[in-house]
Structures are given as structure tokens and as C-alpha cells.
Amino acid sequence: MRKKDVIILGSDAGGTMTDMLMVDRLGDFVVGKAATTPHDESIGFINSLADAFQYWGMNWDTDAKDVVPGIQSTVYCGTGMLNALLTRTGKKVGILITKGFEDTLLHERGAQIHAGYGYQDKIHKVAHVHNKPLVPRKLIKGVTERISIVFGEEVIPVYEDEARAATAELLDRGVEGIAILCLHSYSNPAHEQKIAEIAREVMKKKGRRIPLYLSSELMPVWRECSRLNATVLQAYGAEPVREHLFTIEQKLRDKGYKYPLQIVLADGGIANIRYPALFKACFSGPIGGLLGGRYLSQVMDIPNLLCTDMGGTSFDVGLIMGGEPVMLREVEVGRAIVNIPTLVMNSIGAGTGQYVTIDPESKRLEIGPGSAGADPGPVCYNMGNDIPTVMDCLLIMGILNPDYYLGGKIKLHTDLALKAIKEKCADPLGVDPYRFAEGIFNLISTRMRDHITTSLSVWGYSPTDYYLIGYGGAGPVFLSDYSHDLPFKGVFTVPWAAAFSAFGCCAADYLHRYQKSTMVVLLPGADEATKVFMGTLVNACWEELERIAVSEMEEEGFKREDITLRHIAYVRYMMQLEDVEVISPVSRINTAADMDKLINAFEDTYSRKYAHAAKYPEVGYQIMELGLHAMVSKPKPRLGKYPPVKLKKPSIDAFRGRRNVYRGGTWKTAALYEMDRLQNGHEVEGLAILEAPTTTMLVPQGKKAVIDEYKRVWLKEV
């Protein structure tokens, strides 16, 4: 067999499984899957890649050196950085900060002390507790200095002796990195640069070299608490993750790979793993699915799409509106608010790896929050775990095929799962173990359905305006139940649902986002001269961001003519608390008419987001932040259209037999079909199960699965 001409790899390292999408030059793709290995993510990466090789008749050990040199792009997303933050296993970091602000991490922002709380706890102040800072107070040193907030002029020079003494003390305490933050460095970074210069001199004298992290380089925007959180996150959590990424890249280079490994950023961009602001990749895992949703939305002309992702650990809900994901300006990371523009994903604990337990005193049923992950995994893995999981329930109900998990690579032990559920859950409650398992199935489905309706309500949207896609390894299993009775325009999944986040990695262009705070004010009735003057402030900021963007992209190997720049302004009505991201219709504000075009674009965006009646131009406008998108297009998977078949009934080669499934309190016979062999126009009525090597789809009675020209699998009423 001729070796495939592979050009793109996309990998998603989840809490349980690592997914791999491998794309060839024609745009065809195949999915590989392996257990995640948190101690060394490169192992799971290579194992999933080796699995993908097998589906195209290749062997990793013998064929990699012939195939890997032709790969042009490898994109990775995962949760390693977030885990380092949540488990507090990052680097030992010191901070040099403007004197008088040493307690910023202790004081926090008002919203931060109840970040991550449920609604009831948020409204009761007595429940609010300050977070334990990632950096202890003894490792935070103040340096006298001050820059003007408006025009960036020096008000108080850097006290150099204080900077030297503070650096020396931090080095003596054994810090592994130093974060530097001056109060108004977003306006003028000179003082941070001066402190960094002094710190390097001290390090040279002491014969010690550690990295320095300047907030003005990583995130030059106002709100010093969130900016400090971002800078500390880079120093504390990003660098350990970078070490994992370098290991992955090196293993690919050993097989002839020529390019840098790339990683998905929380804002939907893609960057080289050497990208200075790697902390923006903190939420890269679930973001890949939204990028895949955006690609489907644009290619398949579905402008409004609700993306639902269920894996082994969590259930994530995100929104594609008008062909683009919804953006959140700041994000909560481990109860800290960080200046990371992020594609919106609302998550709850609801995965197939979650433990199912009974409280011995109250006899109360609990699902999660703990998860078996990939090691030791569910009871049915037979790897040492004896606590039942949601997946064990699916197995004894007959929904999962014990001989076809990961295409048969892992044998599932139904007897062990049944024994654990009976002894630890069903018997203490005095119920039948199969009825108990179905109760778990129904309960977690209800949780997910409630999460969907709550998320849409909070965002202010109705399901009647959206299509719903279910993906993740477990998404198609529960899709019919968590979408039941919700009035979406349509509900569907895809055969590669288990690797949909990896698919999104492959479907995204190479994109960097840049931001910088400014102070542009347009009072009501501003004259032309004022608009032009304010335009010069906007232009200066955009020009600075352009220089940084082009320089970084060229360093990463791109030519200037291949880089597309998109200019962004964050505009608000005067004195409002939130601004709106506006894509500017002009790249420079040289005339009053140019400023009017930008303001008109804001008015249009504002009225679409809220309502026409909500506009308030009488109070004037503020632009407190500007941005820039730098993009280079790259190859993507091909979503070709398949010709229709003559008969709605699937062909005999797609039929896999029948299996008993526990549904509705009794055993019923379900027809089994190979999902990959279903063609455009085929219809499968429930009760049925569609099986693929990496996922399973349940089609209940009263519904049918309909395959369309893109091989999407639609759930419809019979």
C-alpha cells in the first residue's frame, strides 16, 4: 500500500484520552486515539499518532521517517497548564512590583473573591473568601517608580538601589523566575524595561540566570490585578507546560519533522510553542472544539451553532453566532481573573470517567466530582480501579460494545463493571443494578440538558435560533437524551466526533491576537479636529502592535506578504462598564470621516449584540483598548460532499447485528450499524446503536438517524 502524503496533524490531550487527527494532501483525514499521559504528554501524543497511522495501513515504527518529513503543520491543544495552576505545582516565582502595590494578589479584584462560586454563594458576602495567592508575600518586593496614567510620562524615576536589593533577595530565596509589573507600564514600558535591565546585572554578578517576565510585553492592558495574574500565570504555569511541548516537538524532529510545534490559544489563535505569551494557551483544550464548530458553520452555512462537548471529565457548551465564536474579554482561571481574551465555553463536571458513589450515611447518590481519568480508568479497564464510573454504567446497559472499544484495542470487562456497581451502589440502595445504571444515565443527561438551557438563558438566546452539534468521545451516546424536548433547529453529530477538538486544531488558521490599552475619548458633538487628534492616538497604538506582530510572525518563518492584519477597537459608550469588540473598517484614522466609520461600526455591532433601542450616542464614546489580529492561512481538512444512495435502508455491509440494551426499565433489542459505512440518504430508526472505533451513538425509539451529504448524522423524529 502506498504511504499517505500526510500534511497536517491535530492533537487534543484531554483529561482521559489524547485524540489525533491526521490529514493528507487531498484533505482526507483519519482519527487516532490513546490514553492521556499527564506525567509526560509526549507519550500519549505519539501513541495516538501511531494509532492513526494504523487506520491508513501504516506502522509508526517503520513508516514514520518516510511520512513525518512531509508534514507541514502540527497543532496541539491540552489542559496541562490549567492542571498545573489548579494543583499548584508550578514554578517558584518572585515578583517585582510598583512600591505600595505589593499586596495586590492578596487584595484581588472585587469580582475575584467570589469567582467560581455558585449563584447562591455569590449573593451572600459572608461566603466570599480570598484566594491563597500563587506567590507568597515574602517573594513580592516593591520598587519605587511611577508613570503617568494618561500620556505615559515619567513622574517618579525607578529607584535603582531598591530594584537591585529586591532582585538579590529574590535570587537568594531561590526563585525560578521573576515577574515584573509597573502600575502603568501599558502606557509606557520604560520602567519595567529598566528594572529588568537592573535584574540582569544582579543575576550576572551572582552567576545565576533565570527568566524575567514583563507585564508590558505579555499583556499591556490596564487593570493591574488581572495583568499581574496573567504575568504570574506565564511564569508559574506556562513554562512547565512548554517543557512538555518541547519534548513532543523533539520526538517529531527525531523522525524528520521540519517545523515548530504549534499550540491553540484561548482566543482561537494558533502560535509557535516558543510564543512569549504562552499563558494564553491555558484553555486550549476545549477551544479546539469551538474552532471545529466555526469551520463547520462557515463551510456548511450554519451561522448559529451550539457546540456541546462531552468527554471523560467534563461537559462543555459554547456558541457560534453569525459564523464566529463568542469572545469573553477576561477569563476566570482557578478563581483568578486573567487578561486572556477567551472563546466562551461553559463547563460542568459530567463525563463518562466520573465516579459514581453512595454516601454511606445519607445514602445519597453522587456523580463526581472525581474522575478515573485514563489511569487507572473505569472499573471495566481492569487497571486497578474498583469505584464504578458512568462508563461502567453504559457498559452493563449494553450501550457500549466491550469488544469494539477504540476499534477493539482495549477489551472492556463487563463482569467487573457489573460487580462493582452491584456491590458499591445498587445493593446499598436495594435496587437492581441495571435500573441503577439507567438512573445514572438519565440523571447525567438531565444535568447536561439543564446546563444547556441555563447557558443559553444567561447569554440571552433561544434554542429556536440555533442548531446543536454533539461531539467528544461520549457526546453521541448522550446526544438524544440531553437534547430531548429542546426546540433546536436541528441536532446532529459527525463520525469523527471523538476527535472534534483535534479537528478544530487542523481547521484553524495561524492567528495571533495583540492588545494594548489606550485612552481615546469622543465627547458628544466632537468636532473634526478632535476626531483627527484622537485618531492619531489610535494610529500610534495600531502601528506599535503591527511592528510587534510582523516581527514575531517573521521570526516564526512567515513572509510579510502572507500576513493578513485585521484592526480591532474596543469601544463603549461613555462611562459604561463593558466595551464591545469592533472590527475596524479602516486601518488608520486619518480624517474625521475615518473616525465616523469606526464609530458607525461600533453602533452596528452594539445594536446586534443588545438592541437598537439600547444605543446611547448622546453620552459620547470611549476607546480604552485597541487590538490587532495577525493571520496566515494554512491548509485545512476537506469536507467533501458525498453522492446520495437510492435506498434509505443501509446496505448489508453497514449492519453489524443486534444487541440487548437496557432502556426504559427493560431489556430491548437494538440494531447495530457501523457508522463509517452509512452513506448520504441512509436512515436508521431506533432503537439502534451506531458504532465507530472511537465513539458510539445511541438512537432511541421514536427517533431516527439521517445521514446527509457531509456524512453528518442528524437526529430526527420518526
Q: Nine-digit cell at 71?
A: 508534514
**Is 688 domain-assigned?**
yes
- Mean pLDDT comparison of 2-11, 159-168, 600-609, highest-scoring range: 159-168
- Compute the distance between CA of residue 7 and CA of residue 24 in angstroms, rounded to an integer: 5
Residues 553 and 648 in one domain: no
Asked whether residue 249 is domain-assigned, the answer is no
Q: What is the pLDDT of residue 408?
A: 83
Same domain, 536 and 647: no
Of the pLDDT bands very low, low, confident and very high (cuts 50, 70, 90), residue 345 is confident
- Claim to verify: residue 148 and residue 168 sit in the same structural domain: yes
Is the confidence at residue 366, as pLDDT, over 60?
yes
Over 90: is that where the pLDDT of 579 sits? no
Contacts of 711 (CB under 8 A, 6+ apart): 494, 495, 642, 678, 679, 680
Nearest Cα to Cα of residue 187 among 513, 514, 539, 517: 517
Specify the pLDDT at position 118: 58
> Which residue would you say has higher pLDDT here, 708 or 330?
708
User: Structurally, how many domains does the chain consist of?
Assistant: 3
Asked if residue 130 is part of any domain, the answer here is: yes
Report whether pLDDT(65) > 80: yes
Residues 568, 644, single domain; the answer is no
Do 570 and 691 belong to one domain? no
Residue 669 and residue 534 share a domain:
no
Among 261-265, 365-369, 421-425, 564-568, the least confident range: 365-369
pLDDT for the residue numbered 4: 73
430 inside domain: no
Q: Mark whether 628 and 655 lie in a shared domain.
A: no
pLDDT score of 350? 82
- 239 pLDDT tier (thresholds 50, 70, 90): confident
Q: Please say if the pLDDT value at position 431 is more than 60.
A: yes
Whole-number average pLDDT of the chain: 88
- Lowest mean pLDDT: which of 322-326, 369-373, 520-524, 679-683? 369-373
Of the residues 606, 632, 658, the one at which a domain ends = 632
Q: Greater confidence, 285 or 286?
A: 286
Band (pLDDT 50/70/90 cuts) for residue 87 is low
Residue 526 falls inside a structural domain: yes
* Residue 469 CB contacts under 8 Å (≥ 6 apart), including other chains: 293, 296, 305, 306, 307, 308, 491, 492, 493, 494
pLDDT at res. 418: 96
Q: Give the structural domain span for 555.
A: 510-632
Confidence at residue 359, expressed as pLDDT on a 0 to 100 scale: 82
Return the CATH number at 167: 3.40.50
Q: Is residue 223 part of a domain?
A: yes
Determine the pLDDT at residue 420: 95
Confirm whether 569 is domain-assigned. yes
Say what the pLDDT of residue 1 is. Answer: 44
Reported pTM:
0.82
Whether 559 and 681 map to the same domain: the answer is no
Query: Residue 132 contacts by C-beta under 8 Å, 6 or more apart in sequence?
Result: none
Say what the pLDDT of residue 667 is.
96
pLDDT of the residue at 123 = 63
- Residue 181: per-residue pLDDT: 95
* Residues 577 and 687 reside in one and the same domain: no
The predicted structure's pLDDT at residue 630: 93
With respect to residue 700, please indicate whether it lies within any of the assigned structural domains. yes
Strands (E), 287-371: 305-310, 315-321, 324-325, 327-328, 331-333, 336-338, 342-343, 345-348, 354-358, 365-371
Are both 139 and 182 inside the same structural domain? Answer: yes
Q: How far apart are CA 500 and CA 316, in angstroms?
A: 13
595, 561: one domain: yes
Does the structure show a pLDDT above 90 at 14? no
Q: Which of 179, 207, 235 is where one domain is finished?
A: 235
Residues 570 and 649 both lie in one domain: no
Average pLDDT for 160-181: 95
Considering 575, 598, 632, which residue would you say is the last residue of a domain?
Answer: 632
Task: Say if residue 527's pLDDT is above 50.
Answer: yes
